[in-house]
Structure 1
Amino acid sequence: MGLEAPIVSAPMGGTAGGVLAAAVSRAGGLGMIGMGSSATAAKLTAELPHVSGLGRPFGIGLVHWVTAAEPELLEVALAARPALLAVSFGDDWSWVEEAHDVGVPVAAQVADVTGARRAVDAGVDVIVARGSEGGGHGEPRIGTLPLLAEVLDAVMVPVLAAGGIGSGRGLAAVLAAGASGAWLGTAFTTCTEASTSDAAREQLLRASGDETVTTRVFDIALEYPWPATLPERVLRNEFFDDFDGREELIDADARAEVAAAVAGEDYRVAPVNAGQGVGMVKESRSAAEVVERLSAEAELLLRRWC
């Protein structure tokens, strides 16, 4: 794809818009526009002008069950001719052929080696080995490094490592293990180009890695139809403490409380997605600074190790 840095910004819904994707791509990585559970074709269309005419490769990330409900999302994504289209969290692979028919390479996130083999058998070009440390939604089954090692031994396509990678040291580790690059989410959430609100950015910058938890309480409270097998990793807060493990107690009042907290950016109650690498994110930087710093640190370490 002509990348100068082995870094892909994860397509985080609500955070990774066209502005962030363009900034990462200009810096030499692969910027991904993220369309999460609230995605629509209109929302994707609104983000595309930021990467049109960029002169650099960019990607688009979709959630499979969302595209199944709104097929126009896939149509809009393919019409944009991204350098990489990622569609994750589904078992139907018909979209792979649709993408290949128009010359678009595809990626999918997997949580185990069985999923990796299935994806490759379906024609997926790039595997994202997403470890349990990753922020946002996913199957928290295996840690990043054990998963990466097993997937690399099982498939013959490029593999990106995802989950808990927030420093040059982490990037160097997965590259040394054989990954083609890293799929980074939390590391970009506090960038100046991210769509993260100032209040959420403040929460992320002061958090440590041991403050993240996996849960379904916010999906239940906000009535998001994420499957039970795909909880989200978020910063621990008061609402989590009150209802995790007691989801049956989430009633209309609790739902209204979370909805109001989201609207009012009250993160004692509202969720903030974050991976276990959040403790390594200490400053709000530009995407270019993040790409340059992580790449330089990783290169230096790999030279020392080799």
Structure 2
Amino acid sequence: MVEVSGDGFPVTAWSARLGLRLPVVNAPMGAVAGGRLAAAVTAAGGLGMIGMGSAGCAAALTRELDAMGAITPFGIGLVDWVLDAHPDLLDTALAAAPTLLSVSFGTDLSWAARAADAGILTATQVYSAVDARRAADAGIDVLVARGSEGGGHGDPRLPMRTLLEQVLAAVSVPVLAAGGITSAADVAAALAAGASGVWLGTRLAVCPESLLPPPDRAALLAAGDTVVTRAFDVALGLPWPARFPARVLRNDLTDRWDGHEDTLAADPAARAAAAAAIATGDPRSAPIDAGTGIGAITTAAPAATVLHELCRGAAQEFSRAGGGHG
């Protein structure tokens, strides 16, 4: 059930329970969602998340927590296989006492019990009804149905609306919708379909509070095409499970190696050359995560402006339907 608050924002049972003005969580995008973005999202009424991606470590998390400052509520998002290499990262995250801890891209859900024992709510991304039931059975508090439209790493098999429908039918815990959400109409559609909130990524990546350098933001604003590939992970030797390729902006490196990852993996010289090109940070060769809605994002604005416009627009949809939507 979605209601419209007195200040003109949509409210779900889940967002109300967490004390959020907006049913929005910023996706914990590695190297994008740092402390400044998390603070801005929370200050705007959503749930700000700090993301630790492939390069995550305890020192980096501590730095972003310091940048965020003493603001609540907030969340932290981690990558399962990174925790294997940096077990102190989970310790640091738990010690920070976030409102929500998300760990995704793995099969070991034992971290959830540690979080629950510390009084921390838990979340994880799911990509099928089977994933959803397994996560719910492990006691995860909220699931993120991340569809194939989403930027960054994820399972590309199911579009968000299909996945959301299947996950909602499989479990009774709250489910957030993720993948290709860029407009007020997208937010309204996700909430109307039964999502308890939206998990917003690319739309916030271009905000001035994100960690992205200006050339990457400019590339996002000028882009219109994405590709799902493992080329960057192969070039860099990152142990991402093959199930989770990344949706990124198409560039010179993807044009050369997308679809030829096995050839790249078997050629040390080619991998070294690709890694060197990536290391320059040039958008023509480095990965820039982006969802399929990137073509609709042509201007940047502060996170609060983006969130309020999206949510007020979504609320207007429900108001036109009579003030609420079942």
Task: Tell me the TM-score normalized by structure 2.
Answer: 0.90
Quote the residue 1:226 is aligned against: 240
User: How is 1:94-243 mapped onto 2 (pairs within 5 angstroms)?
Assistant: 94-208=110-224, 211-243=225-257
| In structure 2, C-alpha distance between the alignment counterparts of 1:171 and 1:120, rounded to whole Å | 24
Runs of 4+ displaced beyond 6 Å: none
| In structure 2, C-alpha distance between the alignment counterparts of 1:283 and 1:298, rounded to whole Å | 20
**SS of equivalent residue, structure 2 residue 212:** coil
Question: Residues 112 and 141 of structure 1 are in contact (CA less than 8 Å); yes or no, is this contact kept in structure 2?
Answer: no
Q: CA deviation at 1:257?
A: 3.7
Q: CA deviation at 1:301?
A: 1.5
Q: Which of 69, 91, 104 does residue 85 from structure 2 map onto?
A: 69
- Kindly indicate whether residue 40 of structure 2 is the aligned counterpart of residue 26 of structure 1: no
Q: Which runs of 5+ in 2 are unaligned?
A: 1-17
Q: CA deviation at 1:207?
A: 1.5
Q: CA deviation at 1:252?
A: 3.9
Question: Residues 129 and 166 of structure 2 are in contact (CA less than 8 Å); yes or no, is this contact kept in structure 1?
Answer: yes
Give a deviation string over 1:44-100, Cα, whole Å, max 9, x none. 11111133421x200000001111221111111011111100000111111111001
Q: Which of 219, 227, 246 does residue 260 from structure 2 map onto?
A: 246
**SS of equivalent residue, structure 2 residue 50:** strand
- Kindly indicate whether residue 63 of structure 2 is the aligned counterpart of residue 49 of structure 1: no
| In structure 2, C-alpha distance between the alignment counterparts of 1:37 and 1:244, rounded to whole Å | 20
| In structure 2, C-alpha distance between the alignment counterparts of 1:127 and 1:293, rounded to whole Å | 25
Deviates more, 1:8-17 or 1:150-159: 150-159
Question: Residues 258 and 270 of structure 1 are in contact (CA less than 8 Å); yes or no, is this contact kept in structure 2?
Answer: no
Q: CA deviation at 1:237?
A: 1.4
| In structure 2, C-alpha distance between the alignment counterparts of 1:198 and 1:259, rounded to whole Å | 21
Query: How many residues of Structure 1 are paired with residues of Structure 2 in the alignment?
Result: 303
| In structure 2, C-alpha distance between the alignment counterparts of 1:150 and 1:247, rounded to whole Å | 31
**SS of equivalent residue, structure 1 residue 114:** helix
Quote the residue 2:108 is aligned against: 92
Give a deviation string over 1:248-301, Cα, whole Å, max 9, x none. 332344334433333433222221110111122111111111111111111112
Task: Tell me the TM-score normalized by structure 1.
Answer: 0.96
**SS of equivalent residue, structure 2 residue 76:** strand
**1:224 partner letter:** L
**1:187 partner letter:** R
Question: Residues 136 and 274 of structure 1 are in contact (CA less than 8 Å); yes or no, is this contact kept in structure 2?
Answer: yes
Question: Residues 204 and 278 of structure 1 are in contact (CA less than 8 Å); yes or no, is this contact kept in structure 2?
Answer: yes
| In structure 1, C-alpha distance between the alignment counterparts of 2:232 and 2:311, rounded to whole Å | 35
Question: Residues 75 and 98 of structure 2 are in contact (CA less than 8 Å); yes or no, is this contact kept in structure 1?
Answer: yes
**Identical aligned pairs, as a percentage?**
55
Q: CA deviation at 1:238?
A: 1.8
- Kindly indicate whether residue 303 of structure 2 is the aligned counterpart of residue 287 of structure 1: yes
